Chain A
Amino acid sequence: MNAKKGNTWICEGLRTAARFFFVSWRGLESGAELLGLTRRLEAMTGGEGCGMGEERAALEYSRLVCGTGDRALPLWGSAIRGQRDTLLDKSTLEVVRIYHDKGLMADPAYGQPADYIGTQLAFLSYLAAEGAKEWFARFRQEHFMPLAEELLKLLRSERDGCLYKVTAASVKLAAGYEGGEPVSAELPPGLIRFPESLEAGFDKERIVPTHGRGNCGGRCIVKSHVVNGCITGLSSDDSDGSDGLPVLRACARGYSYRRTFLSTKRLRYPMKRIGERGQASFVRISWDEALDTIARECKRVKELYGPASRYVNSSSGVYALLRGDDFARRLLALDGGYLERYNTYSSACAKYVTPYVYGTSDAGAAFYTLRYSELIVLWAFNPVETNYGSEVISVLAAAKGRGVPIVVVDPRYNDTAAAFADEWIPLRPGTDSALADAMAYVIVSEGLHDKAFLGKYCIGFDREHMPEGSDPGDCLLDYLNGTWDGIKKSPEWAEPITGVSAARIYGLARRYAKLKPAALLPGLGHQRHANGEQSVRSLCMLACITGNVGKTGGHSGGYNHIRLHAIPEIPQPPNPCPYAIPSFLWTKAISSGAEMTRREDGVRGAERLPSPIKLIFNIGGSLLMNQHSDCFRTAEILKDDSLCEFIVCSDVFMTPGARYADIVLPAASMFECSNINVPWDTGNFLLYSSPAAAPLWECRDDYDWLLGLAERLGAGREFSQGHSNAESWMRALYEKLRQEEPELPDYGQFSRAMGHKYRHQPENTAFKKQIEDPERHPFPTPSGKIELYSERLKSSGELPAIPRYVPSFEGPESADGRYPLQLIGFHVKNRCHSIHGNNEAMEDLEPHRLWINPEDAARRGLTQGDEAEVFNDRGRLRICVYITRRIMPGVAAIPQGAWFRPEGGVDMGGNINTLTTQRPSPLARGNPQHSNLVEVIKAGRKEAGRHVHP
């Protein structure tokens, strides 16, 4: 058809199509141009035209081509090859090389991978102009056609749209090309001549450090193998530990970074909300419009409601030195202030309550000290799946090799138990203190307790060691013996509460008391409960009565944190607002902030908050919805834009929370920016990351746009302190760190070596000084001793004075006919919190399933693989069941981090936070995300009074 009209015709048509894909975006005004180009192509190829209006054309383009909607379409060749849905891969490299053979390259100004359909069309147009018949035919067959056909297949339901019509017309034009004489034409958009300056570096492989930066304890080495801007593969730590340094090998998550972070689901352009919150209806805008809007809202909200109505939500998507949330706090502090927060969702109770016992939350021990342990009890600690530190696995493997008994206390037979445990003690969630009480009872009644230790270092164990003025009968011993309530806290007492047989409790107690030193190593699962504070105190109590505190190879039982090396941080100027809330209570601070008080809600800096939250920065995190409790309630609160009036979100994906934002900003991934990656807490190494590729599309590093915002707020200079980019901050903070850590090499060497593993690996154990030399080193508590009995807690009225079992809300005692099952969450090997939750390729590693015991399944008529609904008064979700003896009867478990996907009032994504509560724990006001009661039924079944739609 068109061949007769010759090269000019085809060349012109393909150029027109390329122009469509590279349209210079001017918001809804672009509609006219997009329609014009579409109609021209339709006219050229005998199509019927496009009846769409201008505005609809622009909205469709924004949604489908700019990615502001829910659909991730393959607009790049690599999306349908190799791993599928992975950009900048080997197939992209192939295309780069083909362009290069013709002296061309993709124009970097657009931030598009070279195999973008627009660039491919430009290239075909160029080849047609050149009359390069064979080249054209080959590129068409191998690259353009498979992509275009896949795209057309996926666009079947949108056949009347511009994208479909332009793609279909392009296919017709390309198919019609039969060669011809060269014609003169200028270079089509999307391509430039290959610059001579880059020639020398062409096809040379570079190894670029792009280490893990999610909120996991591991911080592994991830190296990108980069050729011509494409990432041909990932590798990890080559070392094997023979140098005595930690081996930082990536886990399954680390090897999935390309498919997760270079996916077509990435956010590409800034956008603003045009529909109801939660509907994810957005339209692309310019960076200037986005930043102007944010600056305007920051000022308006500050003037109208005061600076304390502005809040930076907790986030941990980037858990490294340079973090957008930290920079945002810095900026708001310089702009009049903001509402501060305390606690984390990870460790609220442990970190808050450990100081009541020991005077500090730094109560951990370096993992290497497990070399000296004679018994290891992993209590709610699951490092195989959670990855709590890259050295933990090798340390546990070595202990197992030495024949050291390892006990795992967890309602679930987790992968750590499978790999290392001699004994698994399944414990009903939230009854940790009851088990501890019974263990203590056995130890004391059999005289196995460390009397000297208790007498010398602790207050509150027995009547002789109670603080002056207190009632001696309030001591721990009287509680254990039942002096006042007549109940001995024996294993027989604990058995019906905990679900652990008395015989097992006797066994564990005796083992723990006799084998020394013994590390009762707590994770964090036991403290993410409605009575989490007490569970933490109970484990401390066990460590004290066996004298395992401050001894190498032992453990204090408190918050497992110890600082081994200095950790660099972004400097925070003083916040002019004195107020802070527990981080878990931010939704309450939106819905009824002005009623929140010190007494009721743990407000700091005032008796009452001056204002509710009216503006939120949510940068690189999913606590805006997915990882916060009670998703349906959160959705109700966020949906109402008269409550929180402005939400800005920066992320790499349209997360369940970003759907509720007013402005969404596209962030650069770890492949596109620099950082220094610091492991959790202990800090025995630092990793250096640098960009493997320039930021894709219009993505920006968070610091970069926050600097633009700071300038608009008139605080640019103070905010940046002269650092025009993130790398400059890194260098300065690194130099500062070097003053504290003389072992660190200079920055050049540090970056070339991609980081530094400290040769000095301290084997610290908390409280060693206090135990070895108590006169000169008292515990930093009011009494100077370990406070098993706490006057501070007694007077708070929120917790008992001693660590003892306190039944909690939604604990096993409150289970009833309506909601008879306890439900807990757990970390899985295929996600780091919610990260990777949108990477379907990971599903094989750990299918998203509800773990349920055969007894409980049988009672509900469930068979393996059935789809079930799990529900309580807060919500319901859909999930497949995994019937297994690996979870104890009466308890069900859902891997945390699945993406919330509500459809008709049911979360089809199976996010456990559909079922968790926003009611906080009593003292720390922490998140009790494992204290839930639910019922499970086969999906689609009728349940009393309500029909469940399939």
Chain B
Amino acid sequence: MFIHKKELCIGCRACQQACSERSDLPPGVFFLRIEGRESQAGEVSVSYRARVCMQCARPKCAEACKAGAIARGRDGIVHVDASACTGCGRCVSACPFGAMVMLYSKAAKCEQCSGARPACEAACPAFCITVQRK
């Protein structure tokens, strides 16, 4: 489970960049994004939220995939089998969190650094990200 303590987040996006670095993502493609939202009225304030795969128990992306390339594993992580992916993009539009992306014509997303210590968690200078694994 990806836990983002919003009240501690400083919006520095070190996690976002560390993620892109770990996953070798080209410009404009993100597995994790920190989005800032500005208050529209009253006192000026900014809050941050993380856009990342929630590893849903019943993943919409998997339901949308006609090639059967997406499945939630026993490790609780939703995996994309790139060799089976046809690149149709249905999963991208199906994801309610906007967390599925196309990477070099294949669907791709956060798979919590495949067992290594997640780059986002290790990068956060404000200690606001925790990735709990099954």
State the A residues within 8 Å of B (CB): 81-84, 89-90, 233-236, 238, 240, 247, 249-256, 258, 384-385, 390, 393-394, 397, 413, 415-416, 418-420, 424, 829, 840-841, 843-845, 884-886
| Interface stretch of the complex, out of B10-18, B52-60, B63-71 | B10-18
CA of A251 to CA of B34 in the docked complex: distance in angstroms? 14
Complex Cα gap A356–B124 (Å): 41
Q: How far is the CB of A800 from chain B (nearest CB, A)?
A: 35
Beta-carbon contact of B17 and A252 below 8 Å? yes
- Cβ contact within 8 Å between B46 and A845: no
- Min CB distance A823 to B, Å, is 20
> Complex Cα distance A236/B17, Å?
12
Instruction: Report yes or no: A252 in contact with B38, Cβ–Cβ below 8 A.
Output: no
Which residues of A have CB within 8 Å of B18?
236, 250, 255
Q: Is the CB of A252 within 8 A of B16?
A: yes
Report the separation of the CA atoms of residues A235 and B122 in the bound assembly, to the nearest whole angstrom. Answer: 9
- B-side interface residues, number (CB < 8 Å): 32
A829 to B30, CA, bound (A): 17
Question: Among B12, B17, B125, which residue has its beta carbon within 8 angstroms of that of A256?
Answer: B17
Interface residues of B in 98-118 (CB under 8 A from A): 104
In contact, A397 and B126 (Cβ under 8 angstroms):
yes
Are A841 and B10 in contact (CB-based, < 8 A)?
no
28 A-B pairs with CB atoms under 8 Å apart are A82-B24, A83-B20, A83-B21, A83-B26, A83-B27, A234-B21, A236-B18, A236-B122, A238-B122, A247-B125, A249-B122, A249-B125, A250-B14, A252-B12, A252-B13, A254-B14, A255-B17, A255-B21, A255-B123, A397-B126, A413-B44, A415-B10, A418-B10, A419-B126, A840-B27, A841-B20, A884-B38, A885-B38
Q: How far is the CB of A404 from chain B (nearest CB, A)?
A: 16
Which 3 residue pairs of A and B lie closest in terms of their CB atoms, listed nearest first?
Answer: A841-B27, A82-B24, A418-B46
By a CB distance below 8 angstroms, the chain A residues around B122 are 235-236, 238, 249
The contact of A255 among B20, B36, B104, by CB within 8 Å, is: B20
Instruction: Please determine whether A424 and B123 come into contact, CB atoms closer than 8 angstroms.
Output: no
Residues of B within 8 A of A394 (CB): 125-126
Q: Are A251 and B24 in contact (CB under 8 A)?
A: no
Once the chains are docked, how many angstroms separate the CA of A886 from the CA of B37?
Answer: 12
Q: Is B132 an interface residue (CB 8 A)?
A: no
**Known A845-B17, A885-B44; contact A249-B10, beta-carbon cutoff 8 A:** no
CB distance from B52 to the nearest CB of A (A): 15
Main secondary structure of the interface of B (DSSP, over half): loop
Residues from chain A with a CB closer than 8 A to the CB of B104 are 81
Contact A258 B21, beta carbon cutoff 8 Å: yes
- Distance in Å from the Cβ of B111 to the closest Cβ of chain A? 16
Chain B residues near A390 (CB, 8 Å)?
125
Q: How far is the CB of A822 from chain B (nearest CB, A)?
A: 19
> B residues within 8 A CB of A385?
12
Decide: A256 near B44, CB < 8 A? Known: A384-B12, A845-B16.
Answer: no
Judge whether B25 is part of the interface by a CB distance below 8 angstroms. Answer: yes
CA distance A256 to B26 in the complex (A): 12
Bound: A258/B26 CA distance, A: 12
CA distance A81 to B25 in the complex (A): 9
**Which B residue sits closest to A839, measured CB to CB?**
B27
The reply to whether A384 and B11 contact each other, CB–CB distance below 8 Å, is: yes
Q: Can you name the residue of chain A whose Cβ is closest to the Cβ of B34?
A: A845
Give CA–CA (A419, B14) in the complex, Å.
Answer: 15
> In the complex, what residues of B have CB within 8 A of residue A884's CB?
38
- B45 close to A251 (CB less than 8 A): no
Also in contact, A84 and B27, with CB within 8 A (given A247-B125, A886-B38): yes
Contacts of B28 in A (CB 8 A): 841, 844
Which has the most chain A C-beta neighbours within 10 Å: B14, B17, B126? B17
Across-interface contacts of A886 in B (CB, < 8 A)? 38, 44, 46
Q: Are B46 and A256 in contact (CB under 8 A)?
A: no
Contacts of B26 in A (CB 8 A): 82-84, 841
User: For the complex, what is the distance from the CA of A212 to the CA of B72, rounded to whole Å?
Assistant: 39
In the bound complex, residues from chain A placing their C-beta under 8 Å from that of B16 are 252, 845
B12→A415 contact, CB < 8 A: yes
Contact of A384 among B10, B39, B123, B124 (CB under 8 A): B10
Contact between B14 and A255 (Cβ–Cβ < 8 Å)?
Answer: yes
**Cα distance, A884 to B45, chains bound together (Å):** 11
The complex places the Cα of A254 from the Cα of B104 at a distance, in Å, of 25
Q: Give, as a whole number of angstroms, the nearest-CB distance from A564 to chain B.
A: 21
Given contacts A82-B26, A393-B10, 16 further A-B contacts (CB under 8 A): A84-B27, A234-B21, A235-B122, A250-B14, A251-B12, A251-B17, A252-B13, A413-B44, A424-B44, A841-B26, A841-B27, A845-B13, A884-B38, A885-B39, A886-B44, A886-B46
